[in-house]
Amino acid sequence: MAATLTTGGGQPRNRTLILLYIMTDQSPLAALPLQTQASEKPVWTLEGPPAAPQLVLKGIWSVQDGGMAPFPSDGLAQAHGPGVLTFNIQDVTGWDSALIAFLWDVKQAASHAGLHFDPKGLPAPAQRLLALLPEAPAPGKTAPRKPPPLLERVGNNTLNILNETGTVTELALETARGACKTLSGKSGMRFKDLASDLWNAGPSALLIVGVVNFLVGAILAFVGLVELRRFAAEIYVANLVGIACAREISAIMTAIVMAGRTGGAYAARISTMLGNEEIDALQVFGIPVSSYILLPSILSLGLMMPLLYIYGTIIAIFGGFVVAVSMMDISPLGYLNTTFEGVSLQEFMFGFVKSFFFASFIALAACRVGLQAGRSAADVGIAATRAVVIGIVGVIAMDAVFAVMANALGF
């Protein structure tokens, strides 16, 4: 059995090259040719029985002489294992990394044919270079997967939303049970943590909530005053600011501020504890995470948000008062009387109830995002960002639901 392949002068393929300069025991690699003749092209021949083939190499195996031609993957198809593939390189007059690349291809073909690759007939430097190469080529890039059909994506997203809704609902039920246990003195919550969270979610947020609501009330009064002046109805700007802030604006703006300020802080804190393995330690000791960590956060925000809403509404009405009194010919007492006559207690009750639900959603979503975060430092920022985005979008969506319900009930 014999097969001969003479490599042509085609363009060499982009292959992994091996360093050419290898120090041996006596001198640098001596296998490189001193003089290259154009007639000594690299040639290989497969001889011997199928179970013990021998690969005979001749010529100069260098890159410039076309020695980079790969060994075909089916070059040993006629041979079969188990057996040993040996080499005869007596007629090789020069070589460089092209021979190493060729031998590596031979090694892969021998592996597919079930033959044992025996490098003993090769020069010692070539054996050392082959030992540096991996046993098999690196896996190539897989073909990009086609995106799933639209219905499949919609179904998967719907299923994920339902799963998350169920998880958040279960978290809310656990929090409610923990709150009931707190009243009976059997909860694992520390009142020190509750007091700290109450301070952070309440008095510490008064400044930012007041500034935002004051500016919103002032802007609303200014816009309303400009439009109502066309109809000589400037006095009704008090009703506009009072009803809008008490019913919608103050509740939404306070919730958005708390989602960015407190919701993000909850998610960052829990994800940091997860990364520091503090959550794992609590679970190992049998301490319920829902009572020890989540319950103080959710209770504090649920108790403070309605109070912040009332505070923000008063500040927003005061902002409208400042703009209206400074820009129109009306007494401060007249503006306040118009506000009290136009804004009923039901408007405050409606906003108060919405604020409680907004606070519960923000706290639950932030805690869920924190528990679902990764354990690296980058995941802390990602969790905080996700908590803020989910909180703001959820608050606006819930407000739309409340508006539809109020309209259906004639409220």
The first and second tokens of residue 335, run together, are 């503006």
User: What burial class does residue 398 get, using C-beta atoms within 10 Å of its C-beta: 0-12 exposed, 13-18 middle, 19+ buried?
Assistant: middle
Task: Output the average pLDDT for the chain.
Answer: 80
Does 35 have pLDDT greater than 50? no
Using only C-alpha atoms, what is the Rg of the chain? 39
**pLDDT tens digits, one per residue of 70-125:** 777 666 766 666 778 888 888 888 888 888 888 888 888 877 777 878 888 888 88
Does 144 have pLDDT greater than 80? no
- Read off the pTM: 0.62
**pLDDT tens digits, one per residue of 348-407:** 999 999 999 999 999 999 998 988 888 888 889 999 999 999 999 999 999 999 999 988
Residues above pLDDT 70, as percent of the chain: 82
The CATH architecture annotation of domain 2-132 reads: 2-Layer Sandwich (3.30)
Q: Are 118 and 85 in contact (CB under 8 A)?
A: yes
Q: Enumerate the domain spans of the chain.
A: 2-132, 177-409
Is pLDDT larger for residue 46 or for residue 396?
396
**pLDDT tens digits, one per residue of 300-333:** 999 999 999 999 999 999 999 999 888 877 788 8
**pLDDT tens digits, one per residue of 237-267:** 889 999 999 999 999 999 999 999 999 999 9
d(CA 267, CA 366): 5
* Highest-confidence segment of 85-94, 148-157, 179-188, 205-214: 205-214
The first and second tokens of residue 234, run together, are 């400037």
Does 23 have pLDDT greater than 50? no
DSSP 113: H
Contacts 24+ apart (CB under 8 A), 345-350: 346/411, 347/242, 347/243, 347/246, 347/247, 348/246, 348/310, 348/313, 350/247, 350/402, 350/406, 350/411
